[in-house]
Amino acid sequence: MPGFYVIVAFMDYLNGLNERQKDAVLYKDGALLIVAGAGAGKTKTITHRIAHLVHSGVAPEQILAVTFTNKAAKEMQERVLHLLSGASSRPMVTTFHSLGVKILRDHADKIGLNRHFVILDDSDTNSIIKECLKDFSIDPKQIPIRTFKSIISSQKNNFITPDEYGRNAKSQNGMIIARVWQRYEEKKQKEKGLDFDDLLVKTVHLFQKHTDVLDFYQEKWKYLHVDEYQDTNTVQYLLTKLLAKKYGNICVVGDGDQNIYSWRGADITNILNFEEDYPNAKVVLLEQNYRSTKNIISVANSIIRKNKQRKDKNLFTENEDGELVSLFEAYNDKYEAEFVADKVVELLDKGINPNDIAVLYRANFQSRMFEEYMLKYSIPYQVLGVRFFDRKEIKDVLSYLRASLNPDSRSDIRRIINEPKRGLGKTTIDKLFAGGEAELPVKTRLKIKSFYEILEKIKIFAESHKPSEVIAFTIKESGIEGELRKSGLEDDLERLENVKELITFATKYDELPDMTGIETLLEEAALASDQDSLTQKTDKKPKNGVKLMTVHASKGLEFEYVFIVGLEDDLFPHGKKSMNRDYNEEEERRLFYVAITRSKKKLFLSYATIRMVFGNTEVRNPSEFIYDVPEEYILREERDNSGFGNNVVYI
């Protein structure tokens, strides 16, 4: 029977929706802004709205839904197909970049592209930029390749052209970047290749220059949905605005309070100004949270309402009050890690699945101490990201130290002889190891000599200094610190924090005699990196274990029990004083809000009054965010900070 699936869908798709969700689902024509608070069922609302459009007579193929990740797109598509089981056609659910590829493939000739253009990955773009630098005789040490990549990408995402960038460049480096960027575009064109940013930039250019193509897609997709709208950048904003211009049937879902990716180009004003872009837009606030307890939601509300740059809403829940939020003041960072491990053991003893427990921190380097105590307590864990001792920058520093003590360690030499870049390629290294150094050009031999002199300096220093001092010396003398600091990129600043955390790790061996401390440090670091603990890495199947991750990585996830650690001034909020970062207090508060709202049942907050920071003992002030939590929701954990647990090292 034709259309039978529609009747079935209609009977189902309104079930289980609250009144606000129904209001959004049943709104058909015109612009719609769904402001969905954390845990408010935004994906359910958007998929059920698509089902309603089909029920009301819209052909499924006229509906487009765009999101950011393949995972999110897959989940949304599966939900939509479930609601429309039996349909002869389906809505298009895709990511921004996949959408760009489809459009450009179909109309490549319009903008001088080969339909079979190559999509360049990171390795490809690195190689092309390297060629550009060579063309202009630019030393990558002056401006690293990753700096060029980052600046070019951010400018493209802001819809800036190389010419515009060059005209506005006010510094010598700015003018250099403009020239390299222009050459980069020329080389890509010769290769008939596009980078990831091009997939959207070129699509917008196509629509702007060829109104017939734009009209085709406006007719094709009369109903547009955009998920996580608060995370859109300028190009994504322009793309969606062009597609929606003819009919105005655009539904965006998002939450300005969860905008935490400004450093990636996400522009919070896109969602805040939606009603200016679409003056007749309907706004629906989804404020009912289905995830967390009342106490957790109350804390979240008290935190986020301090922000001024937001659309006012007030989360509520019909869930139980739940437990108070635990707050623990640790004497030092070791006690904090032990407190977390101790609490986790208690939860596991009660039968809680370790997958339902998460430890969230603001900066990647913080994982090390918690990894140490998870191993110490035999707690299964999984680092979302890369474990501390598996991080490239940590391996590089340790390789410098090992090679300085053992210059015959070819694996270490291979790893670091060109880190930072010294212009020593694989052929050179092969000749060196084959005993053919004399055949190499004089300039190359001098570079090799300089490298081995660095190793000798490290060795001599190591013979008479403490391990923490040796690590600090190695980080500086190797050039790793200068290289990471020079770029100024957020990723490199994080890597610099990681290598400096290695100094803190090394302090535990400072009291050992002579070279014993260094040798023990290297042994334990090697063993730690080889532990049969749970890691994400390339595993396709998630493993059982407590999840350790940054707050950024936790977005979109939920857990029964959540620990938010390191709540200290200049750590969370991050970058207020350190590392020359741009400080955005409201975004840091949004990050804290996101962290809080990951928790379903119980929230633990902790901070240390003394912390070893990059090898230096510092007295720490509690985060300003702690003072924003009303006392009525706090349970202060009382523990003997003077010696609970075994093997606690006093600072």
- Rounded CA separation 624/626 (Å): 5
Q: Which residues pair with 549 in a beta bridge?
A: 360
Q: Which of 195, 197, 198, 227 is catalytic?
A: 227
Assess whether 232 carries a catalytic annotation. Answer: no
- Positive or negative, the Cα torsion across 358, 359, 364, 368? negative
CA angle 239, 242, 248 (to 5 degrees): 125
CA distance 164 to 186: 16
43 is catalytic: yes
Active site residue 586: no
* Residue 278: both structure tokens together: 């679409």
Angle between helices 392-405 and 442-462 in degrees, nearest 10: 80
The half-sphere exposure of 401 on its side-chain side, counting CA atoms within 13 A, is 32
The SS3 call for residue 67 is strand
What per-residue string of b and e applies to 317-338 under the rule 16 or more CB within 10 Å gives b?
Answer: bebeebebbbbbbbbbbbbbbb
Catalytic annotation on 258? yes
Q: Cis peptide leading into 467, omega within 30 of 0? A: no
79, 313, 555, 598: which one is catalytic? Answer: 598
* Catalytic residue selected from 77, 218, 232, 258: 258
Q: For 261-300, give the DSSP string.
A: -GGGT--THHHHTHHHHSTT-EEEEE-B-SSS-HHHHHHH
Q: Residue 411: what residue type? A: S
Beta sheet of 92-95, edge-to-edge order: 92-95, 63-67, 223-226, 250-254, 32-36, 282-286
Which residue type, as a one-letter code, is found at position 567? L
- Residue that is written with structure tokens 């052929």 in the block: 427
Contact 364, 565 (CB under 8 A): no
Maximum Cα interatomic distance, the chain, rounded to a whole number of Å: 87
Q: Of residues 20, 42, 222, 601, which has the active-site annotation?
A: 42
The answer to whether residues 181 and 165 touch, using CB atoms and an 8 Å cutoff, is yes
362 is catalytic: no
Our answer to whether residue 62 is catalytic in this structure is no
Question: Any idea what the Cα angle at residue 614 is, between residues 608 and 620, rounded to 5°?
Answer: 25
Distance between CA atoms of 532 and 358, rounded to whole angstroms?
20
Single out the catalytic residue among 23, 29, 43, 445: 43
Catalytic residue among 195, 198, 228, 477: 228
- Give the closest residue to 562 by CA, choosing from 361, 379, 388: 361
Q: Please give the positions annotated as active site.
A: 42-43, 227-228, 258, 598
